[in-house]
Amino acid sequence: MTAPDSELTIDPEALRLRAEKALRTARDRTHTLTSCVDEHDLTAQHSPLMSPLVWDLAHIGNQEEQWLLRAVGGRDALRPEIDSIYDAFEHPRAERPTLPLLAPAEARGYVHEVRGRVLDILERIELRGAPLVDAGFAFGMIAQHEQQHDETMLITHQLRRGPAALTAPPPPGPADGETLPEEVLIPGGPFTMGTSTEPWALDNERPAHHRLVPAFHIDTTPVTNGAYLRFIEDGGYTERRWWTAEGWAYIQEHGLAAPLFWRREGGQWLRRRFGVTEPVPSEEPVVHVSWYEADAYARWAGRRLPTEEEWEKAARHDPESGRSRRYPWGDADPTPDRANLGQRHLRPAPAGSYPLGASPLGVRQLIGDVWEWTASDFLPYPGFRAFPYREYSEVFFGPSHKVLRGGSFAVAEVACRGTFRNWDLPVRRQIFSGFRTARDAS
């Protein structure tokens, strides 16, 4: 894999500043997530599904050391003895509290020392000449890695019991949400899926290739809590006919009857959100639902989940020019008036928000707010090549994992674009996952 020629002509100083900003923005967020709780909360395991926060902190530093200090900078290892401890593939999350983890103060010192040396390398290195450094790829990869773990740590904060440790203002609501059409027709025809030119795109987003997608209708906004509540009240969790065999077995085994963190009390549905218990807001996109739940709702509604290629066409294809955009609104980077990203708000925005972020055909909130389950298994694109390591994507390919698209309020701008692919097991509910539905045009 090589960086695109068009990106190699970017002013080297501008590229350096972009990489430095991405690294510093990620570190500021990491500090926020690890400084707002005490040492006990940093070292505790709040759920067997998640690592202790202090493991994520040191893992961030270890990955940065391995890729930017050693692989890019050619420096000697600082702490080679901890590589195994912070290898995500060697130790499942449930086991990590039993490992000899760095204590919080030592972990902070370690990531600080690594970062100082990395910035020194960034000042001096030429950002071209090898795949890892072309267009600053390795620095962008590590900034995305840290932001992905920041999202993971935010999930841990949501699972954590106790008073609120994080605060954020509510997101803006739409002025025209009630007048929007329920769905949008996406015309059939070819479009370009994936990318071969985005300099910091990861291997599973590559290469760009053509897909022929028949016409379909897709929801204008993600499915809301209010709509999902109608599914619950209509016996959605008790009707076998809406569920796949695996999904029905799973909800029966675990006694599921509503999204994660919901409970019914005194005739009212409440939810727990980052330490605060509040009424479920009907106008917000539903969040913390598994693929099985999303699929069952779609069947109940007489619809289906969109395929991954349908989702990307709805998000990127400009029918007037025939080209695929970087984002629904165009090629410009995300801004706060276009998408709910970066933990600026600790919740999805009401359905229909961010009209400036709409696609050419008027589909809203395709970027940010909630990850959106698709019908598709996580598979490689034609011509896929693992880079720079198989464990990022390749080992997860297959029918076990379903694709999610679009990001959530917990995703940073650097780790979210129209081509970005997320994936997870269909049982997962602790992630910030929602969905929208689709139907064939015929």
Tell me if residue 339 falls in helix, strand or coil.
coil
Closest of 436, 440, 441 to residue 182, by C-alpha? 436
| CB-based burial label for 76 (10 Å; 0-12, 13-18, 19+) | exposed
112 is in an annotated binding site: no
Tell me if residue 13 falls in helix, strand or coil.
helix
The residues with which 327 forms a beta bridge, in sequence order, are 330
95 is in an annotated binding site: yes
Place of tokens 């992905």: 148
On whether the CB atoms of residues 137 and 200 are closer than 8 A, the answer is: yes
Structure-block tokens of residue 424: 């997870």
Closest of 99, 23, 22, 110 to residue 58, by C-alpha? 110
DSSP 209-256: EEEEE--EEEESSPPBHHHHHHHHHTTTTT-GGGS-HHHHHHHHHHT-
Q: Provide the 10 A C-beta neighbour count for residue 188.
A: 14
Show the CA angle centred on residue 272, arms to residues 270 and 275, nearest 5°. 140
Show the CA angle centred on residue 337, arms to residues 221 and 183, nearest 5°. 15
Q: How far apart are CA 372 and CA 408, in angstroms?
A: 8
Structure-block tokens of residue 411: 């995703």
16 is in an annotated binding site: no
210 is in an annotated binding site: no
149 is in an annotated binding site: yes
94 is in an annotated binding site: yes
Annotated binding site for gamma-L-glutamyl-L-cysteine: 93-96, 424, 428
List, as residue ranges, the binding site.
59, 93-96, 145, 149, 424, 428
List the binding residues for Fe cation.
59, 145, 149
